[in-house]
Structure 1
């Protein structure tokens, strides 16, 4: 692949797309985490660094670009119309992020709507208590349920000397399964690193030209199911594949320069995180069997315990919306930091250490948390409504590939 997009038939949107890319790069000068990836013209990045526009100027430029995009007539071509809406909503999220950086206060739901074009449902305490009752029946015994789950999970920690072989095996299998359904360009691939002192569990740093750096944080013990989760989420068919397909089909083939930059706090992340989480189910519909027959023996764990472990993890994942409620309460000022941490321990069944790490991350990513759970559920519903179900795996892969190769955003999933 070349480092620049090929010439393509000019579009009225091209000039707006260039302004959008330069706007995102300029905002990135005020927040190191904002530009998650960039592989466009180096001169544009240098220009953003040299000029370092003020937040006031960026607010003005973002608002003007959004107005001008909204005023354009809707393209007659359905796929180009998706591009138009993508630019409108992505620019709107840039505008919202700049307003937040300038000190504007938004409640959790208002912020998620402004940044991610989505608003998470509210779940009551009773919803989580019902799920916990099911877990309580699976793991009876003395002591609080959170402590029983923590004791149970300790049986399934991957020893540090086994991490590399277990993760590489899972990633290789995820890649093999993905390539059977999604063609990827020759030479695509990733580097894998184990790191410490991070607030996240795993991260994909997409570097352009179909290459990624995948990092796994080993600060806390890593449970065996995370090997499948991270292999699919960060790699195949998750973040790595999503970025490769956008670069290949939209940037390189169509010359749509807006796909040379990834603004992290934007609607694109809703699709990225949601599809990456749903991609776990797409790639590993047989996860219990694969864990029991391959990863458990490889990690030196007892395969006879695999089925119960999977049932506990599947139920625990349904508690994920508790993370939204804790973050909503914390950011809206209804919960102190300590209360939010205790709420996570009570309803998400997190250990105090994991809950503290989660709240530390919430300070940084704020309403981004909805992208993981609501994003996953909306992507799943979008694909399953069109026939991509467990009973039709080929159709599911087809729809998943089409989603990853398109400029669709949350509003297009409804």
Structure 2
């Protein structure tokens, strides 16, 4: 038996839409957007116009569906319609696409927010004994912790097992068949790390060694891609689906949908979940000195991500050229030239341009949610994050109910999204 929220023809059509969108994205842009699908349903819708019509048909079918399933699926179907329009090249405001595809703000991160975070990074560098201005301190720190390109995979491998041990001990259970079959290096891509789920609870990780890697930053990305990040999410969902605890209508992961901020926000907070950045947590042979480095690396990545997200916004709204956005990231986020150009390739991509904001906003939504929940409720929090299909808005409401007050993860960002939601 399969757990379903809707009658079989409706549920099957929802998965068909997702997988058919994947076929169109691969055909048009060479990009896989359905990065996991656990059912046996195959794509059958031949073109974007037909997908759009099918979306409208299913929206009518679920109009009266009550409770969480109805709210979740109406948001998902709305996002599919907007994703179709994006693939067709419809000239809609960038904020409208982000609001309807991801249920996220689309505006500039305030300079005051960025300034406060630069100060956090500078204080962390000072605490480690570095001197000079922020750029000088950062360059010394990066040089001191640099990993040679031919050693990146070896260092990543050394983190794999202990991060899985911490995941199983403090976060979620995984089936005994779970595992990462290999970690390899690549060049020529715009991303830093990539987790590929291959099915049957197994996956592979790949890291881009064109960019420089330091040990504290690699720890953040390794836990993001592996445990308790993407591999843990993919495997857990597969297990839940096979146990009839995940509904067919949510039995996949789709780039450009309202689930993205959770799927990226959880991995962006993965090292924090493990307690590798906090002395009060017992951890897997992670020293206090390493924890100080990992805390700094998280602040460093957050500082860079703010500049990258603003550059993404300004490029996609026509306020900046490629050259201006690259220069902005290097100046405001202290990115190196390789990293800034890779990020530009990421957020200027026709598929990824409406996905990229999920990293920054997901990080703050999930990270703030975790820190807002009392320690005795963490198991409930992880069940909400890993085991329950949520959109951005339903997750925010679930956290509000958990903590007994309105959860406002984006309160520092003046959002325009209400103007565009239907």
TM-score (normalised: structure 2): 0.81
- Deviation, 1:352, is 2.1
Q: 1:361 to 1:84 in 2, by over 3 A?
A: same
Whole-Å Cα distance in 2 between the matches of residues 288 and 156 of structure 1?
Answer: 21
Confirm or deny that 1:413 pairs with 2:395. Answer: yes
Q: CA deviation at 1:240?
A: 1.4
Alignment of 1:222-241 (within 5 A): 222-241=213-232
Q: Which shows bigger deviation, 367-376 or 322-331?
A: 367-376
Q: Distance in 1 between matches of 2:225 and 2:167?
A: 13
Query: What's the CA shift for 1:13?
Result: 4.4
Contact 1:190-1:214 within 8 A present in 2 as well = yes
1:183 aligns with 2:168: no
Asked if 1:162 corresponds to 2:163, the answer is no
> CA separation in 2, counterparts of 1:9 and 1:357?
41
2:263 to 264, 267, 272: 272
- Whether 1:333 and 2:318 are equivalent positions in the alignment is yes
**Which deviates more, 217-226 or 160-169?**
160-169
CA gap of 1:176–1:212, structure 2 versus 1, over 3 A, is same
Task: Write the distance in 2 (CA, Å) between the matches of 1:121 and 1:244.
Answer: 34
Is 1:250–1:405's contact at 8 Å kept on the other side of the alignment?
A: no
CA separation of 1:64/1:147 partners in 2, compared to 1, >3 Å: closer, same or farther? farther
RMSD (Å), alpha carbons:
2.9
1:208 corresponds in structure 2 to 199
In structure 2, distance between residues paired with 1:130 and 1:376: 17
Pick one of 114, 133, 138 that aligns with 2:100.
114
| Whole-angstrom CA distance in 2 between matches of 1:148 and 1:133 | 12
How far apart in 1 are the matches of 2:381 and 2:90?
39
Choose the corresponding residue for 1:193, options 176, 184, 194. Answer: 184
Q: Are 2:90 and 1:90 aligned?
A: no
Aligned to 2:15: 21
Deviation above 6 Å: which 4+ runs of structure 1? Answer: 287-290, 292-296
SS in 2 for 1:12: coil
2:223·2:271 contact (CA, 8 Å) conserved in 1?
yes
Asked if 1:218 is matched to 2:214, the reply is no
The whole-number CA distance in structure 2 between the counterparts of 1:121 and 1:15 is 39
- Measure how far apart 1:359 and its partner are: 0.4
Distance 2:158 2:278 in 1: 14
SS in 2 for 1:95: helix
CA deviation vs aligned residue, 1:37-93 (integer Å, no higher than 9, x gap): 23422xx43x53xxx612112111112222322x1230xxxxxx3333332222221
Q: Distance in 2 between matches of 1:115 and 1:247?
A: 24
1:256 aligns with 2:228: no
Distance 1:213 1:29 in 2: 22
Aligned length: 380
Query: Which of the residues 138, 142, 148 maps onto 1:153?
Result: 142
Q: What are the superposed Cα offsets for residues 163-195 of structure 1, whole Å, 9 maximum, x if unpaired?
A: 233212211111001111322112111122222
Q: Which of the two has greater helix per residue?
A: 1
**Aligned residue number for residue 246 of structure 1:** 237
Residue ranges of structure 2 left out of the alignment (5+ in a row): 27-31, 397-422
- Contact 2:312/2:347 (CA < 8 Å) preserved in 1? yes
Contact in 1 for aligned 2:220/2:298 (Cα 8 Å) = no
Matched, 1:313 2:297: yes
Of the three residues 366, 369, 378, the one matched with 1:396 is 378
For structure 1, the 5+ residue unaligned runs are: 1-6, 75-80, 297-302
